[in-house]
């Protein structure tokens, strides 16, 4: 699988604070794809220029604003922001916008929050209809990185995709978060590979480069590929040292 995307929020950050310059560093390191998180705090002119100068493609960005999609009263704010995020994605030719569910709300039954999240995804599909941009809802672990997060189950996220049943909506499948939650990709994804719009990887413990921990990332990536996944694989990890050294360890472990 050669569709690795450098998450330049983490990779090349030790080398330069100049965000757009990280795109040039990614190109020099052999990447044809990069991704990042929020767009509203970036110099988009500089990013667009760097993408054009290097020929590097943008695999994805975050759909802003972060919202409590488990709370119906927050949906309008998110959908208004999604329109702006869609327009930025189109400007930068990013095919994927990544979003999160928001927190598990106290005092509200889980079924109601699940229904609210499902409705948010359905309405998001309408916003993205005809744009070619896909929204990718991301399950996260609540054991290490995101205590109090609602959507920790990949199977539950895929159930939402089954219910929404719109091509504009999928999931970001993060192998790190999934396996921290003791999920086995072969079991939780099974035959629903078509719902995966984007993939992230990092090792555990530490959320560092593949090869630094104990997760069988090579085998799991090969399984996803064998099931037909052909999208980008985002390298969303913290290098333990320099990015160059981390990439050397990663490539050795995944070869």
User: Mind listing the pLDDT tens digit for each residue in 195-236?
Assistant: 999 999 999 999 999 999 999 999 999 999 999 999 999 999
Rounded percentage of the chain residues whose pLDDT exceeds 90:
99
pLDDT of residue 242: 97
pLDDT of 120-168, one tens digit each? 999 999 999 999 999 999 999 999 999 999 999 999 999 999 999 999 9
Tell me the sheet residues that pair with 208. Answer: 238
What's the whole-model pTM score?
0.97
Instruction: Please name each of the domains of the chain with its CATH number.
Output: 4-254 (3.20.20.150)
pLDDT of residue 116: 98
Q: Is the preceding omega at residue 83 within 30 degrees of 0, hence cis?
A: no
pLDDT of residue 48: 98
User: What distance in Å separates the CA atoms of residue 12 and residue 16, rounded to the nearest whole number?
Assistant: 7
Reduced to 3 states, what is the DSSP secondary structure of residue 167?
coil
Closest CA to 198 of 47, 33, 83: 33
The average pLDDT across 23-43 equals 98
Closest CA to 82 of 122, 49, 139, 110: 122
Residue 25 in this model has a pLDDT that exceeds 50: yes
Burial level of 109, CB count in 10 A (0-12/13-18/19+)?
Answer: exposed
pLDDT of residue 1: 41
Name the pLDDT band for 2 (thresholds 50, 70, 90). Answer: low
């Amino acid at each position: 699988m050669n569709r690795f995307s450098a998450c330049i929020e983490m990779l090349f950050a030790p080398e330069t604070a100049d965000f757009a310059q990280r795109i040039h560093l990614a190109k020099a390191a052999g990447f044809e794809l990069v991704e990042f998180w929020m767009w509203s705090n970036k110099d988009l002119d500089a990013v667009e220029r760097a993408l054009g100068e290097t020929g590097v493609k943008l695999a994805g960005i975050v759909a802003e604003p972060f919202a409590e999609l488990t709370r119906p009263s927050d949906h309008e704010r998110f959908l208004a922001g999604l329109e702006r995020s869609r327009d930025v994605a189109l400007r930068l030719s990013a095919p994927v916008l990544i979003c999160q569910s928001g927190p598990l709300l106290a005092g509200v039954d889980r079924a109601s929050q699940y229904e609210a999240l499902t409705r948010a995804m359905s309405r998001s599909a309408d916003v993205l209809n005809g744009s070619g941009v896909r929204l990718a809802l991301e399950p996260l672990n609540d054991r290490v990185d995101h205590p109090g997060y609602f959507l920790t189950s990949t199977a539950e996220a895929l159930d939402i995709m089954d219910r929404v049943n719109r091509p504009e909506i999928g999931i970001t499948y993060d192998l790190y978060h999934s396996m921290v939650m003791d999920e086995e990709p072969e079991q939780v994804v099974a035959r629903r590979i078509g719902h995966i719009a984007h993939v992230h990887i990092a090792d555990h413990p530490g959320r560092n480069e593949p090869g630094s921990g104990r997760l069988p990332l090579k085998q799991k990536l090969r399984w996803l590929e064998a099931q037909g996944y052909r999208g980008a694989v985002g390298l969303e990890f913290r290098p333990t040292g320099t990015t160059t050294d981390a990439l050397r360890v990663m490539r050795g472990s995944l070869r």
